[in-house]
A and B are shown apart, each in its own frame.
Chain A
Amino acid sequence: MSTYTPPLKDISFLLNDVIGLDRVSGLPGCEEVNAELAAQILEEAGKFAAGVLAPLNRSGDLEGAQWKDGVVTTPKGFKDAYRQYVEGGWSALAGPVEFGGQGLPHAIAIPVSEMLGSANMAFKLCPLLTNGAVDALATHATQDVKDKFLPRMVAGEWTGTMNLTEPQAGSDLALVRSKATPQADGTYKISGQKIFITYGEHDFTDNIVHLVLARIDGAPEGVKGISLFVVPKFHLNADGTPGARNDVKCVSIEHKLGIHGSPTCVMVYGDNGGATGYLVGEAHRGLEYMFVMMNAARLGVGLEGVSISERAYQHACVWARERLQGRPVVPMPGNPKTVAIVHHPDIKRMLLTMRAYTEAMRALIYWTASCLDVAERATDEKDKRMHQALVDLMIPIVKGWSTEAGIDVTSLGVQVHGGMGFIEETGAAQFYRDSRISTIYEGTTGIQANDLVGRKVGREAGQTMLALLVEMEKTAAALHASGDAGLRGVGAALTSGLKELKRATEWIVTMWSSTPGAVMAGAVPYLKLAGTVCGAWMMARSAEVAARQLAAGGGDADFLRAKLITARFYATHILPLATSLADTVTGGAEAVLAMEEAYF
């Protein structure tokens, strides 16, 4: 069976030595955060992930969530694991303190969430959605709605869902048709059908809190007429406990390529006159509120790219060490006739590709998470604004790049196993299948890329990206001055990558207002370019720290050497993609736009 070992060494190296927990520990509400506390939390969360969730990953995939007569049963062991998750207090980790949460920063919550996702991605989706719903309510709901729902949601006693998609409204939410009719008591009657609702129905908890987008009768057409509602599965009694059933039900669940343990529900509201819903915030501003939830959720889904890549990498390493096949190409002591495949250069190349992507993505997401902490908590307005701009820029990059890379990494994981990788029992295939959804939900890669080139780069003339480029150049300059040839090589590669990103960014800024279509034709290549180069920046920073620690004789020497090698590998095998991607962004639009619909 596939086991999972929490990568605590890399996590703490990145948090403490590369990104620096001191970035957040000085923020209001984070006074208690330090390396020791982080280590304790990560250690225990890792034990829970590896000991409770990981053993249910394969069985959950095989069994899948089941639907019968409106009732969803999660795979064996999931319900008990969820109980342990709540009892362990993990649900409340980042929740607001006033509603019983621990209020810990994203910089801690993200690594914890990474481990849960590596252990069992299908399970982790439930907490992910609940946390998103808590964010949206905590930011926008009235005090009454907050008091009714948040304490129980923060604790994990009730879970949350996000009901956006309808059959005719996928990426384009302007087409949402679900209806909300105002009632005399101030509530609304909600009716309509929602699809792709993750954990819309399950057996974990005695209530489920749905956040639903719908149009109030007579609301304007398009995105400006959509409001956000809270619709609980069970009405609340006067004492706040769940009472009678609300008019909402799960009519079926989907049969999917992956994440079989997670029920993806078709929800029907208002078959019997309308489900009671409470308006969140003001009318017609629902989409705007949903976006608050979406930023965190997109970061969370980007993180799935890291989670699933780490798991696939660990799985592939075990196999590559055990599988004896072929003679050694590189001379080895004792001249063995047959060696473990890990000794073959191409297997090493594949494992290193998996590892380099995973470490670069992990670092980039942790850094983004710490920026989000500063943006949310800093007292200095300028600091806040600057970090919010960085977060806004990084969210589509982190979401799009990490999940696309996650598919590549898990695919390599299958490849390392050879024929056995194609066999389900081996386990590598599950990671590949599970990873496939992550580039789709919470906004496809195309949606992320359009957001990046339009809202985040085009509209502000590349201001934040160009400022970030200056920051990244500083890292490259520091490496150029290094006495170590390997580090200088990493620095030189970073410099050429930065040039490519700058070239493509300037092209987008020039073209955006006149020919947005040309920019969008290269939006995904630009997103991948940005991810590839920002990832290189993180690997360069990691390499610099690793070299310094090695020279000082501190730290785990094997880990640090591997980090340096991985950074050199990234610089020579992955970062060179930047040139071709920049060429595609700046020269690839013509062929896309020239192709007429009829020719397809």
Chain B
Amino acid sequence: MNEGEIIKYLRNRFGNKIRRTDICRDRRFYINVDSDCLKDVCKVIFRDLDARFITSIGVDERQYNGGFLVAHNFAFDSWKLLCSLQTNVDGDSPSVQSITDIVPASNWAEREFRDLLGIEPVGHIYPKRLVLPDGWPDGVYPLRKDFPYDSVPEGFDENRSFKFDDAPPGCVVVPFGPFHPTLDEPAHFRLYVEGEMVRGCEYRGFMAHRGIEKLGESVLTYNEIPMAAERICGICGCVHNVAYAQAVENAVGIMPPPRSEYIRTIMLELERLHSHLLWVGLACHISGFDTLFMHCFRIREPVMWIAEKISGNRKTYALCLIGGVRWDITEELNQELREVIGKLETSWREVVKAVEKDSNLQKRTRGVGIADKKLVKESALLGPVARAAGVPIDSRRDHPYAAYNRVEFDVVVSDFCDVWGRLIVRMYEVFESIKIIRQCLQKIEPGSIQATITDEIPVGRFGMSSVEAPRGECHHFVITGENNRPRRWRVRAPTYQNLQGVPTMIKDQQLADMTLALASIDPCFSCTDRLETVDIKTGKVRVYSAKELETLFLWR
């Protein structure tokens, strides 16, 4: 089916409850429906048309039309379409039908717009606070437009503590995190353990919500956001940088020149190379195979060096601006990059040959962290986790961007459904990345690397962009706005969805497998807000608040 046929199908089912439809460029379309039939339309799209859930977005539009906007984004991967299903919500007492009982994957996204914008998802299956800190006063919504970006709300209660759910009968609670040797970033899992078996868990995260979307909507300007977006993630920063730029370009129809599209593709693939090599190293490290960990990092290092030569930094490439890129790949760099990936391919082939038959590693990873096709659909899992479950989704092929429609590559799929499958998928994707970079270097066209932008960006346009990060699809949604900055900028990183699948993946598994199962999604959290110290002499535990810390370590 194409966009028109889907809209026709929905119109036949729902008649004039479908208020408005827009078919836009790059195979994206927008549907605005009455709020009372939102759930039914979602059901048809998600179940009958078999779409993949991407994310839910809340937008404060009260200063323009007196209400809020709620959007549920879906992807039709086999038809190569992206769809945003929207509904307008009343401004005074905003509430919307929850779709969590049909689309379980929308669990976090709905809680997020409830916390940040105060739009109540009626009938949510697990309506617990998700994003805001425990002491944050009720009824204050930081992402609303009337809330200044640097405001501290009245009535912040330092002493209000988080209420955990009750553990199931017969289970012992084992806390995992927020500080744990295998977690680089803070996240807390409260595991319910029966003997050695994990029977369930409760997740508590968002300990380092940085409010980067608010910053983008109220302080930064269009061409400053790419640099801020890059700081969302320390490993796949360039993905966010490109995804944001593409979302704005998609919204207003700016065409980046072909050369810049090739450069974007090359840098994204370089990033995937170093991320996958890092992950394989870490997976080996967690399963106690440190030799290979060292060698993965040895093989990875030249990738960082060549990225530094091209962009000026090993990791933060600061690559994109709206309508192009900042760094050119000269003939000299082109030659050098060919040599680097040539050497990388030989040394990686040796590693893969050694590892794919390693029965010790297989025994450690087979049957651990099972995510099957059903879980992938229900929790909308992405990237290598989905591909290791035999679901061939890859934004590079399904929703082509940059120069991916001009290169040939295979989507690596495995049927193991476990950590071993994810290891295999990632190891072979390295070869696909090398293939893509080679083709790009050969096909790269001469010309400009930045489109000339002569007019200001028009107001009120929608833009979507999906970019395949090493961990899965990264989705950016932009509504353009006044004052040279977007009105709404929503980021959905791949871990946001993959993490929601972890409780099912570790259920009925050994406690010792928890670390490996969690690491297998390549999780990406962030920094911390509290610090606990123990007085060695008295053994007294004291928890410092952020304010006390500020006075302790006065940084000004």
A and B from one assembly?
no
